[in-house]
Chain A
Amino acid sequence: MRATGAALIAAPFMRLLEAPRRVYAQTGPKRIIFWFTPNGTVHKYWRPTGSGADFAFPAGSILEPLAARKSDLLILDGLNFERVRGGSHEGGMEHMLTGGGAPSVDQFIAKQLNTMTPFPSIELGVQTSAWGAGVQTRMSYDDKHGYVHPDDDPVAVFRRLFGGGSAATGEGPSPQARVLDLVRGELKGLQSQLGTLEQQKLDAHLTSLTQLSRRVGGAAAACGGVTVPKLSDTRSNEKFPEVGELQMDLLVAAAACDASRVLSLQWTHTVSPTIFSWASASEGHHELSHKDDSNTAGVASFVQTERWFSEQFSRFLDKLEATPEADGSGTLLDTSTVVWVKELGDGRLHDYKSVPFVIAGRGNGYWKLGRYLQLGGMPHQKLLVSLCQSMGVMVDGFGVPDITGGISELTT
């Protein structure tokens, strides 16, 4: 099939085993949601006790706020980043979803699924952009290794996802569709005249407009019942929790009306300077993430900020559980996979050993949940493979050519 061939050319290290499923199978997750929080962890406050199905979150530990959801989780310990290009925070941020190649796994899945949902993928952020776009502040990459930007503004997200365009009235295309046709015509005219000159820029622009034109005049009204967020100044430190809350709600609403099958929420970025004053912190998150064990007050403050993220994650899962699928197939938590990703192992050391991952959500029964898995230094590219496969994108490698296979323990 043409799509398969194209994918192999664009992403040589993603070895497709068979044609991607175009219509999702009933057995796998319907959608996948990536959830990022920065600056690694302190393992002794992150790790559960026990192993396998017999595990617990110690009192005061980072993941303890997820205790009520234990049976919906897979806690993954012992996944290492291998073949990181560069180093430090930036190397991890770039490697986390790409495994060392391009595109990132979210964009790859979106492209292979090729669903006719209004958006191939949806990226939301919480204060990700004060430093501009850069290796520190972006986690999603397109197949040319260009950044896929999150939208940090809930009001703009609402308009884009649920505001609708002016729908077509009467005969013929909508006015917006005519504008897009004209602009695309201009771009194609330029392409034909400029040949290889600025080809990538013009191609990228046209691709962007193609995605947009699919939606113009489309059925945005199907996503009823979402309220318009009211918020100003999305960039000030104190608004961080409020922005996050609105973005979580918008993400759930987008999932509920099937605006996309691949979604993400990026909380700030690696080296984040955010001061979690709402979690009693007085230093920036990145500064706290570097406290030595000897600095017990500093480490305790970092753990508090990480527990705050766990609380948000728990509440996000609750929101998914509280929202039914339109087709009556269950709640969003029944049908979705949520993956909590990080960019470093021990943040103090800037290392990539035992980078903490959590899979949550029942994914239509795809995962064998309720377990704490110690994977013993397995390369995390295998997790990326498993995530692809869960969505019916049958690859056996991701990011680099010589690490293959998924993680069978996740489903058996």
Chain B
Amino acid sequence: MSAFKRNAALACLLAIAACGDDMAGEPAARPGVPGLPGAHGGEPGVPSGMQPGPGAAPGDVPEAPVDCNTTVAGPRRLWRLTAAQYDNTVRDLFGIESTFGTGFPADEVVHGFNNNADLLVVTPLLADKLAAAAEDIAMRADLARLAPCVSASKDDGCLRTLANQFGERMFRRPLVPAEAERYVALAKTAGDFEAGARLMVQGFLQSPHFLYRFELGKLASGSEFALNDFEIASQLSYLLWQTTPDDMLLAAARSGQLREPAQVRLQVERMLASERARPVVHAFVFDWLGLTNMLTVPKDTARFPELTPEIRASLLAEVERFIDHVMSSPGNSLSGLLSSPVTFLDAQLAQFYGVAAPADATQPVMMPDQQRRGILTLGATMMTHARSNDSSPVHRGKLIRERLLCQTLPPPPPGVSIQPPPLDPNKTTRERYAAHSSVNPCVSCHRLMDPIGLTFEHFDGVGRFRADDNGNPIDATGEILGSPMTDGKFDGVTQLIDQLDGSPDVQQCYSLSWVRFAYGLRETAGSASQCVIKRMQAALSDSAGSLGAIFSVLTEDEQFYNRTGDPKIAPQLDFATASIAPEPTPDAPATGGEPAAPGLDVQLAMSNDWGGGYCKTYQLKNTSAEPITWSVPLEVDGKINNHWECEVSGETGMVTFTGAQHNATIQPNAMAQFGFCGMR
């Protein structure tokens, strides 16, 4: 990886340090994310993705040359479904519209993307929301759709069929017998068939085997694990469609085809041709270019009354049609995004832009304004990357710097008043922002942003073309500095775009962004991702680089087939074929009043009492040399209204507590706990 990527941010940092300002040295490490908290809270052109700070962009990639003949795949992992993937998956499995995911706590955003596998965890709030969603979905599910036997025979056999057939869709792999029996046993506790089937569905929806995509593989050699066919099917499906594998993918996995690149290529072609790939490609571009909030980013409605919700919807339709048009062409996708001269206008958007309305909003027309070309100049981009009441050279320069060049800018030094220049009807934006290019310490960083952003001055704060700025002519000259393979001066947006289109820096950044989106991996996590960036960059510079070529590179890579890990950890673990959990122990019969087993130490670990009720938690320890299937009799004060990690023989008086499935048996020296609340 060449050294040029580090220059801009580093130079900027050094310049500030040289001014004697106190730049905080210690990065505020986020778990799994290196670097400082975000760059320049003052002017976030790309608000959501700006963490981490300098050093996490390509500049963070180790300098040591990578030998792409002996690459190392990323780590074995469990990759939790994102909120959007959850909704898509529920939609496809149950045939219902799912918006549950939009109510989940927002996933962490890094460089614009919210799918970083390290950061996707199940927090307490998410666990609650998943449980609530599971209840609702199970209630609404059309059981006959999940297993046709439901209409014919409401019996244990059908429960077993449901567990195996629908379970395979939920887990994205066949269930092993012990797993299926666990879900059948759960269903049978419900008392009647339908309640049981719904309870089973509720369980599946909260299972780790559903919520996480397993990328563990099977030990192949050394520390290399080969992903199994079902794991690859899920990768394909969630990469291209952001949803669960369809019947064809599962069939291909069952017949063991998906470790063959030729078969994978056929699947990729099939899936890319589907309508389902379109929103996924939109999502990539939106995350990459920071357009995700375009429908909600607040604007001054007094200054821009024309920007109605309807116009925002038209701006969204325009950019989506533009992306579809570029991505369905066989040419270079990056070049098309940056330079395509056509767009799609409906009548109200044409009016908003102040141009004549084309006959058909779904057909491409030449961009209406002399300065408009490519996605950077579409109304959606210019509107989102601007201030609430004004254009913004800072936001727009930052967009190019961070998302086209993948460089990260440091925050401004403390103690410097950074009032953005107020609106002034007598001055142009360039005049108002002049201090940024003349006053230290501003100039050291703003010279990397403002001269680029000022080139976009022909577009106002909501993305409309303007011939002049407050009646004054617009000087749209600018310059890129600190990025040697892209550096240079330009006059006007089209010249800037010419400079970006074809730049190896931009090709590398675009490739890196695809890798982040596709693998949810930090680029430093394995050398495979660095090699795939190189290969994709090579494809782009060959003027090939179509969407199909990008997905070919992504799905032919080492990272798509293998993982790296400690060979000592569960070398046999293979969920497609092996047993994964012990058979459930049958419930111990209620044996009220017997003393706890010898060797079982029972301690009241905590308790809380508010008069009318109370809760108690007990800690159990097996002090003997043999496993104990435990049973603890206790005199209950009042009536039990809630208990956890245990089964109870009754609600009042002398009650025997026995283990739940997971803690019924305690190994020697191991501990378990259970608890209950009672009302008096």
**Which residues does A use to contact B, with CB under 8 Å?**
22-23, 84-91, 93-94, 114-117, 120, 123, 129-137, 144-151, 153, 156, 159-160, 163, 167-168, 171-173, 175-190, 193-198, 200-202, 204-205, 207-219, 235-237, 258, 270-271, 273-275, 277, 282-284, 286-287, 290-292, 295, 298, 327, 348-352
B252 to chain A, nearest CB (A): 26
Q: Contact: B208 with A187, CB < 8 Å?
A: yes
Using CB atoms, name the residue of chain B closest to A123: B125
- 14 new A-B contacts at CB < 8 Å, known A145-B31, A176-B131, A194-B216: A91-B24, A94-B37, A146-B31, A183-B208, A193-B570, A197-B570, A198-B78, A211-B127, A212-B128, A214-B644, A215-B642, A271-B41, A282-B303, A350-B42
- Min CB–CB distance A213 → chain B (angstroms): 4
Instruction: Please name all residues of chain B whose beta carbon is closer than 8 Å to the beta carbon of A177 when the two chains form the complex.
Output: 643-644
Cβ contacts A to B, 24 pairs, < 8 Å: A85-B36, A86-B24, A90-B36, A115-B608, A116-B677, A132-B107, A133-B105, A134-B48, A136-B41, A136-B44, A136-B51, A149-B126, A151-B125, A156-B103, A175-B190, A185-B584, A196-B569, A208-B123, A208-B126, A212-B124, A290-B417, A291-B422, A298-B419, A350-B416
B39-80: which residues lie under 8 A (CB-CB) from chain A? 40-42, 44, 47-48, 51, 53, 76-78, 80
Residues B24 and A213 in contact, CB atoms below 8 Å apart: no
Contacts A86-B24, A94-B37 given; does A185 touch B661 at CB 8 Å: yes
Q: Does B647 contact A (CB under 8 A)?
A: yes
Q: With A and B bound together, what is the CA distance between A149 and B106 in angstroms?
A: 8
A265 to B420, CA, bound (A): 30
Q: How far is the CB of A24 from chain B (nearest CB, A)?
A: 10
**A295 cross-chain contacts in B, Cβ below 8 A:** 419, 422
Which secondary structure dominates chain B's binding surface?
A: loop
Find chain A residues with CB under 8 A from B47 CB.
131, 136, 271, 273
Nearest chain-B residue to A127 (Cβ)? Answer: B296
Contacts of B679 in A (CB 8 A): 219
B411/A184 in contact, CB under 8 A:
no
Name the residue on A nearest B190 (C-beta). Answer: A175
**A78 to B640 CA separation, bound complex (whole angstroms):** 52
Q: B645 touching A181 by the CB < 8 A rule?
A: yes
Distance of A20 Cα from B296 Cα, bound (Å): 45
> B637 near A: Cβ within 8 Å?
no
| Residue from B293, B300, B580, B607 within 8 A of A130 (CB atoms) | B293
Name which of A117, A286, A298 has the most chain B CB atoms within 10 A of its CB.
A286
Given the interface contacts A22-B606, A218-B642, A283-B300, does A87 sit within 8 Å of B570 by beta carbon? no
Asked whether, in the complex, the Cβ of A186 is within 8 Å of the Cβ of B414, the reply is: no
B121 touches A88 (CB 8 A): no
- A275 vs B300: C-alpha distance when bound (angstroms): 7
Whether A349 touches B209, Cβ cut-off 8 Å, given contacts A22-B606, A145-B29, A175-B199, is no
Expressed in whole angstroms, the Cα–Cα distance for A123 and B124 within the complex equals 11
**Residues on B with beta carbons closer than 8 Å to the beta carbon of A237:** 296, 298
Query: Among residues 611 to 653 in chain B, which have CB atoms less than 8 Å away from a CB atom of chain A?
Result: 611, 613, 615, 617, 641-645, 647-648, 650-651
Q: How long is the Cα–Cα vector from A235 to B99 in the complex, in angstroms? A: 15
- Report if B27 contacts A (CB, 8 A): yes
A-B Cβ contacts below 8 A, count: 340
| Contact assessment for B76 and A116 in the assembled complex, using a CB-CB cutoff below 8 Å | no
Distance between Cα atoms of A219 and B614 in the complex (Å): 11
Hey, which chain A residues are within 8 Å of B389, CB to CB? 282-283, 287
Cβ of B128 to closest chain A Cβ, rounded Å: 5
Provide the B294-321 mask, 1 if CB < 8 A to any CB of A, else 0. 0011111111000000000000000000
B388 at the interface (CB under 8 A from A): yes
B441 at the interface (CB under 8 A from A): no
B565: interface (CB < 8 Å):
yes
CB distance from B656 to the nearest CB of A (A): 12
Contacts of A117 in B (CB 8 A): 608
Which chain B residues lie closer than 8 Å to A213 at the CB level? 644-645
Contact of B41 among A90, A194, A208 (CB under 8 A): A90
**Smallest beta-carbon distance A1→chain B, Å:** 10
Interface residues on B, range: 35 or more
Whether a CB of chain A sits under 8 angstroms from the CB of B415 is yes
Verify if B524 is at the interface (C-beta below 8 Å from A): no
User: Which chain A residues border B647 with CB–CB below 8 Å?
Assistant: 172-173
Q: Which residues of A contact B183 (CB under 8 A)?
A: 182
Q: Are A183 and B388 in contact (CB under 8 A)?
A: no
Tell whether, in the assembled complex, residue A287 and residue B608 are in contact, meaning their CB atoms are under 8 Å apart: no
Report A-chain residues with C-beta under 8 Å of the C-beta of B584: 185
Kindly list chain B residues whose C-beta atoms are within 8 Å of the C-beta of A181.
645, 660-662
Say yes or no: A193 contacts B580, CB within 8 Å. Answer: yes
The answer to whether A175 touches B31, judged by C-beta atoms less than 8 angstroms apart, is no
Beyond A270-B41, A283-B300, A287-B387, whether A179 also contacts B121 by CB under 8 A is: no
Q: Which residues of B contact A (CB under 8 A)?
A: 23-24, 26-31, 36-38, 40-42, 44, 47-48, 51, 53, 76-78, 80, 103, 105-109, 114, 121-129, 131-132, 134-135, 182-183, 186, 189-190, 195, 199, 202-203, 206-209, 212, 216, 293, 296-303, 387-389, 411-420, 422, 565-566, 568-570, 573, 580-582, 584, 606-611, 613, 615, 617, 641-645, 647-648, 650-651, 660-662, 675, 677, 679
**Cβ–Cβ < 8 Å partners of A131 in chain B:** 47-48, 109, 293
Decide: B103 and A183 in contact? CB cutoff 8 A: no
Quote the shortest CB–CB distance from A186 to chain B (angstroms). Answer: 5
Structural contact, A134 and B38, CB atoms closer than 8 A: yes
B204 to nearest A CB, angstroms? 10
Cα–Cα, bound, A98→B63 (Å): 35
Closest to A151 in B: B125
**Residue of A22, A235, A287, A351 with most partner-chain B CB within 10 A:** A287
Q: Distance in Å from the Cβ of B94 to the closest Cβ of chain A?
A: 17
- Asked whether B610 lies within 8 Å of A90 as measured between CB atoms, the reply is no
The complex places the Cα of A283 from the Cα of B134 at a distance, in Å, of 41
Minimal beta-carbon separation of A371 from chain B (angstroms): 30
**Closest B residue to A115 using CB positions:** B608
Cβ–Cβ contact B31 & A114, under 8 A: no
Chain A residue nearest to B23 (CB atoms) is A87
CA A274 – CA B29 in complex, angstroms?
28
Q: Which A residues are in CB contact (< 8 Å) with B42?
A: 88-89, 271, 290, 350
Q: A185-B661, A204-B121 are in contact. Are A86 and B28 (CB under 8 A)?
A: yes
User: With the chains together, A173 CA to B72 CA distance in Å?
Assistant: 48
Q: Is the CB of B662 within 8 A of A184?
A: yes
CB contact between B418 and one of A23, A87, A208, A290 (< 8 Å): that residue = A290
- Closest residue of chain A to B659, judged by CB? A181
Q: Which residues of B sit under 8 angstroms from A277, Cβ to Cβ?
A: 301
Quote the shortest CB–CB distance from B657 to chain A (angstroms).
11
Rounded to whole angstroms, the CA-CA distance of A190 and B580 in the bound complex is 8
Minimal Cβ-Cβ distance residue in A for B643: A173
Closest to A221 in B: B641
Other-chain contact of A193, B40, B44, B53, B573 (Cβ < 8 Å): B573
CB distance from A104 to the nearest CB of B (A): 13
Instruction: Give the distance to chain B from A301, nearest Cβ to Cβ, in Å.
Output: 11
Evaluate contact between B608 and A116: CB separation under 8 angstroms. yes
A190 to B207, CA, bound (A): 11
From A119, which residue of chain B is reached at the shortest CB distance? B124
State whether A133 touches B108 (Cβ < 8 A): yes
Shortest Cβ distance from A376 into chain B, in angstroms? 19
Complex contact A204–B24 (CB within 8 A): no
Interface centre among B36, B189, B662 (most CB of A within 10 A): B662
- Closest chain B residue, CB of each to CB of A125: B105
Q: Within 8 Å CB of A235, what residues of B?
A: 296
Residues of A within 8 A of B615 (CB): 116, 214
Quick one: which of A149, A153, A216 has the most chain B CB within 10 A?
A149
List the B residue with the shortest CB-CB distance to A163: B132
Partner of A136, one of B38, B182, B420, B641: B38
Name which residue of chain A comes closest to B186, CB basis.
Answer: A182
Contacts of B610 in A (CB 8 A): 258, 327
In whole angstroms, how far apart are the Cα atoms of A188 and B454 in the complex? 57
B677 touches A178 (CB 8 A): no
Q: Report the Cα distance A295→B419, complex, angstroms.
A: 10
**CB neighbours of B121 from chain A (8 A):** 146, 200-201, 204-205
